[in-house]
A = this chain, B = another copy of it.
Amino acid sequence: MKITRRNDHFIITQKDVSPYLDGCEVIGVFNPAAAFYQNEIILLLRVAERPIQKSDDILTVIFYDTKTNCIKTLDLAKNDSQYDFTDKREVRDNNKKDGSFCFLTSISYLRIARSRDGIHFKVDEKPFLFPSNEYETFGIEDSRITQIGDNYYIYFTSVSYHGICEELVSTTDFHHITYLGIIFLPENKDVVILPEKINGKYYALNRPVPKATGDPSIWISESDNLIYWGNHKYLMGLRPHNWDSVRIGPGAIPFKTSKGWLEIYHGADSRNRYCLGAVMLDKNDPTEIVARSDEPILEPQKLESKNEFLKNVVFTCGALCKENIIHLYYGVSDSAVAYTEIKLSDVLTILS
């Protein structure tokens, strides 16, 4: 069975977001978290800004400097043999043989967009969360929001020389923020926290990346207080020769259905084609998988748009389910925010 998409279109693109940083341009607004807040739907956008480049011979990179607490730029000569500039998103140090990067070409932070109808959004002028500590020197990337009562727990990927890890904050008003620390050590990202306790425990899906052996896989961890996590268990991995054969990670916050906790996750193959799939976790024990979709529930396709985006990545950090409709917000190829609606019952059918 093929999932039918309705009403799909871009809802926020670069053009809707003015740069916040002097001398920079917005190169992408994507991968938003989503939440109901008062009478609005809030998206927490990842905005990526890049220094406007001065010359073809120089690459100007950008980072948050902890010594001055300011954003700084650095000019790297493109003929400097120390650096590998092959990947447009990052710079590698040729002295390091492990393929790790030493600079990013853009810096990401989080900005709020607000809407009454969930489709037409107004983007805040200023950041909601901006790099401010030693774990965020290369930026704050994809976020998620879990609402528990009046508290909104917001967690996001921090990138720095210390590695890629996940930080947690909370807010009740999307204005005042309480910092709750790093919840998952490097290398980990794509954390999604379930919105209620199950048998007395909170649960979070997350995606550690091992180095010496093993593949990036989805694990599930438990907690009493959302701040300290343990009893980590391997949940699911890559599927060779499938659409999720090379990369995998949690996507939207799982929501409760008649069949269990429904998680929409992302997977990619060796061509770096990112799709979304679905997995159902047991209602009373989310460490148990009830069903996993063989086929993607959402694949990259040519959206009717004049934007010139890559066409091979769909990636979600937030979906809102209401009256049998999944309102899916997703990033398109690290560039723009798109929206589509799919029927919850369709997804439940393919997971039966």
Interface residues of A (CB under 8 A from B): 98-102, 134-135, 138, 159-165, 180-188, 206, 208-215, 217, 219, 221-225, 227-234
How far apart sit A186 and B221, CA to CA, in the bound complex (Å)? Answer: 12
**B181 and A213 contact, CB distance less than 8 A:** no
The copy count of this chain in the complex is: 2
**B228 and A222 contact, CB distance less than 8 A:** yes
Q: Closest chain B residue to A102 by CB distance?
A: B213
Report the minimum CB–CB distance from A105 to chain B (whole Å).
Answer: 13
Q: Which residues of B contact A102 (CB under 8 A)?
A: 213
**A229 and B228 contact, CB distance less than 8 A:** yes
Q: Which residues of B contact A208 (CB under 8 A)?
A: 163, 185-187
Given contacts A163-B214, A210-B187, A212-B100, contact A227 B230 (CB under 8 A): yes
Given contacts A100-B214, A211-B210, A213-B102, contact A185 B184 (CB under 8 A): yes
Q: Closest chain B residue to A161 by CB distance?
A: B214
Report the minimum CB–CB distance from A145 to chain B (whole Å).
Answer: 19
25 contacts between A and B (CB under 8 A): A98-B99, A100-B210, A134-B234, A159-B213, A161-B213, A163-B212, A163-B214, A181-B230, A181-B231, A181-B233, A182-B233, A184-B185, A185-B185, A185-B206, A186-B208, A186-B210, A187-B187, A209-B210, A223-B228, A223-B230, A224-B224, A224-B228, A225-B228, A228-B231, A229-B229
Q: Closest chain B residue to A221 by CB distance?
A: B185
Given contacts A100-B212, A161-B214, contact A188 B187 (CB under 8 A): no
Q: What are the 8 A-B residue pairs with the smallest beta carbon separation, nearest first?
A: A163-B210, A163-B214, A228-B228, A181-B231, A228-B230, A186-B210, A182-B232, A187-B210
Q: Closest chain B residue to A233 by CB distance?
A: B182
Q: Which residues of B contact A211 (CB under 8 A)?
A: 98, 100, 187, 209-211
Q: Which residues of B contact A209 (CB under 8 A)?
A: 186-187, 210-212
**A231 and B227 contact, CB distance less than 8 A:** yes
How far apart sit A213 and B161, CA to CA, in the bound complex (Å)? Answer: 6
